[in-house]
């Protein structure tokens, strides 16, 4: 985060789409920072069970030290995502997307009068169109070419972009090896 010019202490809300490891296991180092370096309030928004799942992850990460030493210093509020709500002063909507057995929460977050849509993981089904419809920016997964089980292919991503020409799309969640250099830090790949 520091390398990208982002202050990890200034983040006041994190929206979790679902609990798969590739979307949650980056949290412990960030939480470590918020426990020992910067204790400003933090809201974690996510699907039903967010508190239990996150607390379990942090206990796995630090064992008994989590509850004894770290949890009392962690200035967190857990919030189960609602169809429409607000977190840390940001208005949001959440839309259930098709992904795996438990689905993924897509979010539309209003920031400075603009709508940012974020998908996490999803198949290219109608709730995804609902999520990005009219958004200024859409950050959406595009996993790889061809058959990408439970995710969106580059072909479907391209069609999605064509159906929503006024929205600026940023595609992420590329599988390593799908294109040479595609997962080099911060490299932008046109699809």
Residues in the site for Zn ion, rule: CB under 5 A? 20, 22, 121
Is the CB of 9 or the CB of 100 nearer to Zn ion?
A: 100
Q: Whole-angstrom Cα distance, residue 173 to residue 58?
A: 24
Q: What is residue 137's three-state secondary structure?
A: strand
Smallest gap from residue 37 Cβ to Zn ion (A): 28
185 flagged as catalytic: no
Q: What percent of the chain is helix, strand and coil (3-state, nearest 5)?
A: 30, 25, 45
Catalytic residue, candidates 7, 12, 22, 185: 22
Task: Please state the separation of Cα 106 from the chain's center in Å.
Answer: 8
Cβ burial 73-111 (10 Å sphere, 16+ → b, else e): eeebebbebeeeeebeebebbbbbbebeeebbbbbbbee
- Shortest approach of Zn ion to residue 35 CB, angstroms? 26
Nearest distance from C-beta of residue 127 to Zn ion, angstroms: 15
Nearer to Zn ion, 22 or 185 (CB): 22
Q: Which is nearer to Zn ion, 45 or 70 (CB)?
A: 45
Yes or no: say if 147 and 155 are a contact pair by the CB < 8 Å rule: no
Residues tagged active-site: 22
């Amino acid at each position: 985060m520091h390398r990208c010019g982002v202050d990890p202490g200034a983040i006041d809300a994190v929206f979790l789409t679902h609990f798969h490891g590739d979307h949650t296991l980056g949290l412990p180092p960030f939480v470590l920072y918020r426990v020992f370096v910067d204790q400003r309030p933090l809201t974690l928004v996510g699907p039903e069970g967010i508190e239990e799942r996150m607390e379990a992850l942090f206990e796995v990460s630090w064992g008994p030290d989590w509850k004894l030493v770290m949890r009392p210093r962690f200035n967190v509020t857990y919030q189960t995502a609602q169809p429409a709500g607000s977190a840390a002063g940001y208005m949001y909507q959440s839309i259930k997307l098709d992904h795996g057995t438990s689905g993924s929460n897509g979010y539309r977050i209003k920031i400075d009068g603009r709508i940012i849509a974020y998908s996490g993981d999803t198949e290219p089904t109608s709730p995804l169109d609902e999520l990005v419809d009219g958004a200024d920016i859409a950050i959406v997964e595009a996993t790889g070419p061809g058959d990408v089980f439970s995710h969106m292919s580059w072909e479907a991503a391209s069609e999605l972009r064509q159906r929503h020409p006024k929205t600026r799309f940023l595609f992420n969640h590329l599988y390593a090896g799908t294109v040479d250099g595609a997962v080099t830090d911060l490299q932008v790949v046109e699809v």
